[in-house]
């Protein structure tokens, strides 16, 4: 999807928020904001919002020398989800339709996102994830997802956030023999890299690859040739999270998007969907 004018205030607000996360020096914060404002003013509106986030975080890294602003948050999210996972397994075991319950929880796990929601609190996550077991969702889409995953031979699973990736294990382990998990190539926001994929236990279930890039999504123009080959080779792609949806909404590959709507721009794109709503969207199938 293209960036919109409504994305610009979010870019600016996010820049200031992360600047304050990585430094207490007002002069450095001002330098970051001014440089990013200049970059935003030159932004190609044909590009996706995650591609602009890539630029913003490159400025922050080069200005402060902080390579992973969300490192502590990522580790806390992963530890939290690992403790929560046994309870979620019990919830699945009680469900009449276990696959549907797994998919609901996997989508609900997308709520663990400190990039999209700076006010998010881990202590509220369990309750909000469990709400997804009864929330409106496209159950026909879930049935279609199961059929596609059952028949696929080579599934590429695009992970998103730390903590969420632990909950993804519920779905990945059902198809572990034919899934490859893709993560970010470099730290960006609270997204999963190889380091956190291993901390989450994903490496025990599937082969891990990375995009070779620091976009909080999948940028076809910045991803490595190795990742692009994995993307082309897969006969089914499972895309987790809003950032992956924003960058791949126009792809011609067979893909399912599993995510929660987190901003007004995405809600409008989805036909005025409610913020926080669960989505299972198929393309090219």
Q: Report how far residue 255's alpha carbon sits from residue 205's, in angstroms, rounded to the nearest whole number.
A: 21
Query: pLDDT (tens digit, 9 = 90+) per residue, 94-103?
Result: 999 999 999 9
The predicted-structure confidence for 17-74, as pLDDT tens digits, reads as follows 999 999 999 999 999 999 999 999 999 999 999 999 999 999 999 999 999 999 999 9
Rounded to whole angstroms, what are the CA distances from 92 to 46, 60, 71, 96?
42, 41, 30, 9
Confidence (pLDDT) at 114? 67
Q: For residue 172, what pLDDT is reported? A: 99
Q: Judge whether residue 123 has pLDDT over 80.
A: no
pLDDT tens-digit map of 206-252: 999 999 999 999 999 999 999 999 999 999 999 999 999 999 999 99
- Model confidence band, residue 256 (pLDDT cutoffs 50, 70, 90): very high
Residue 165 has pLDDT above 80, yes or no: yes
Number of other CB atoms surrounding residue 147 within 10 Å: 11
Q: For 188-207, what is each residue's pLDDT tens digit?
A: 999 999 999 999 999 999 99
Give pLDDT, residue 281.
Answer: 98
pLDDT recorded at residue 49: 96
3-state SS string for the chain: CCCCCCHHHHHHHHHHHHHHHHCCCHHHHHHHHHHHHHHHHCCCCCCCHHHHHHHHHHHHHHHHCCCCCCHHHHHHHHHHHHHHHHHHHHHHHHCCCHHHHHHHHHHHHHHCCCCCCCCCCHHHHHHHHHHHHCCCCCHHHHHHHHHHHHHCCCEEEECCECCHHHHHHHHHHHHHHHEEEEECCCCCCCECCHHHHHHCCHHHCCEEEECCCCCCCCCCCCCCHHHHHHHHHCCEEEEECHHHHHHHCCCCCCEEEEEECCCHHHHHHCCCCCCCCEEEEEECC
Taking all residues of the chain, what is their mean pLDDT, rounded to a whole number? 95
């Amino acid at each position: 999807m293209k960036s919109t004018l409504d994305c610009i205030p979010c870019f600016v607000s996010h820049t200031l928020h992360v600047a304050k996360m990585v430094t207490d020096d007002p002069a450095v914060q001002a330098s970051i904001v001014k440089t990013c404002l200049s970059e935003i003013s030159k932004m190609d509106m044909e590009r996706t919002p995650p591609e602009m986030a890539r630029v913003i975080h490159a400025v922050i890294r080069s200005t402060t020398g902080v390579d992973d602003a969300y490192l502590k948050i990522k580790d806390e999210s992963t530890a939290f989800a690992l403790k929560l996972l046994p309870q979620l397994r019990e919830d699945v075991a009680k469900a009449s339709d276990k696959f549907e319950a797994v998919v609901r929880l996997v989508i609900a796990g997308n709520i663990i996102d400190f990039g999209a929601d700076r006010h998010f609190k881990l202590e509220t996550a369990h309750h909000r994830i469990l709400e997804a077991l009864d929330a409106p969702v496209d159950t026909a889409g879930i049935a279609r997802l199961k059929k596609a995953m059952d028949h696929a031979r080579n599934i590429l699973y695009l992970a998103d956030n730390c903590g969420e990736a632990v909950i993804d294990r519920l779905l990945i382990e059902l198809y572990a023999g034919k899934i490859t998990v893709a993560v970010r190539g470099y730290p960006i926001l609270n997204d999963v890299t190889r380091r956190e994929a291993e901390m989450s236990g994903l490496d025990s279930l599937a082969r891990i690859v990375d995009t070779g890039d620091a976009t909080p999504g999948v940028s076809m123009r910045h991803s490595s040739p190795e990742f692009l080959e994995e993307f082309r080779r897969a006969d089914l792609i499972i895309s987790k999270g809003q950032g992956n949806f924003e960058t791949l909404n126009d792809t011609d590959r067979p893909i399912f998007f599993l995510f929660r709507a987190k901003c007004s721009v995405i809600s409008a794109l989805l036909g005025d969907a409610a913020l926080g709503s669960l989505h299972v969207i198929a393309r090219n199938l």
